[in-house]
Amino acid sequence: MEPVLELRRVGYAYHTLAGETEALRDISFSVQPGEFVSLVGPSGCGKSTLLSLICGLLRPERGEILIQGAQVGYMLQKDHLLEWRSVYRNAVLGLEMARQLTPEAEARVRRMLETYGLSGFADARPSELSGGRRQRAALIRTLALEPDLLLLDEPFSALDYQTRLEVGDDIGTILRKEGKTALLVTHDLAEAISLGSRVLVLSKRPAQVKAVVPVSFSAEEGGRRLSPLERRNAPEFSGYFQRIWKEVREDG
């Protein structure tokens, strides 16, 4: 199968008058359709830079990024719902700007709001929503454009621990149900393992791909997928955790 995303020896550096900071060096990997890839690495190693490059907000200085299908959805760390719009109007923001706000698209967004427990809040202000609901609304805003590839930049890091587990579980399940291909950046190893089908470990800056750890659970062999919370309780979980922890640690 043709990969949705392929990076070939991508390099990027930030320039200031004080000097050059190399953020990424020789990053190569690919993501297959339907795959959920987690990217972990020490903080400040250039993970967000990588997503900005893939999303096209920045241009790589070296190497190339190939994307199958034009639509890339990007979910930022904070939800950034616009307070002067209702939840529904926030959810259709992308469609509105792309001039794709057709009745079908509107119906799709309404349906998603309903499926994910937000239909009662469609006309509410974002500030009336809890952290978890806000994050779900932000996800719907991203999914409304029907992206072929979804980039998640630590989307749960702004939430408290309990909400974080719940929303992580929620969003993982939603993405799997919609059959989306996703690339998740996180510094939470447990999150990376519980959501990803593969974990990429990046090194300290300048970031390079240090290890690729495919994640599989014996309970999933029959084709059944474990939910992220179930994965956390699976016997293999701690083994993966140790292994990835070691990879990340060796660096520092």
Partner 1 sequence: MGKISEAQQAFLRRAARHRRLVRLGRWWIFLLFLALWEGTARLGWLNDFIFSSPSRLAVSFGSMARDGSIFLHTGITLGETLVSFGLVTALSLLLALLFWRCRLAAEILEPYLVMLNSLPKSALAPVLIVWLGGNVRTIIVAAVSLAVFGSTLTLLTGFREVDEDKIKLIRSLGGGSRDIMAKVMIPHSIPLLVSTMKVNIGLCLVGVIIGEFLAARAGLGYLIIYGSQVFKMDYVILSIVILCACSAGLYRLIGLLEKRVS
Footprint of partner 1 on this chain (CB under 8 A)? 52, 55, 57, 73-74, 76-78, 80, 82, 84, 93-94, 97-98, 141-142, 145
Least separation in angstroms between CB 230 and partner 1: 31
The angle, 0 to 180 degrees and rounded to 10, between the axes of the packed helices 131-143 and 161-177 is: 20
Residues in the chain: 252
Least separation in angstroms between CB 74 and partner 1: 4
CB-wise, 95 or 113, nearer to partner 1?
95
Least separation in angstroms between CB 76 and partner 1: 6
CB-wise, 145 or 219, nearer to partner 1?
145
CB-wise, 84 or 161, nearer to partner 1?
84
CB-wise, 78 or 176, nearer to partner 1?
78
CB-wise, 94 or 206, nearer to partner 1?
94
Nearest of 170, 126, 135, 128 to residue 156 by alpha carbon: 135
CB-wise, 58 or 229, nearer to partner 1?
58
Nearest of 49, 54, 47, 42 to residue 8 by alpha carbon: 54
Nearest of 41, 38, 39, 13 to residue 26 by alpha carbon: 13
Least separation in angstroms between CB 149 and partner 1: 12
Least separation in angstroms between CB 98 and partner 1: 5
**Whose structure tokens read 């939840």?**
87
Least separation in angstroms between CB 249 and partner 1: 30
Nearest of 194, 77, 190, 51 to residue 131 by alpha carbon: 77
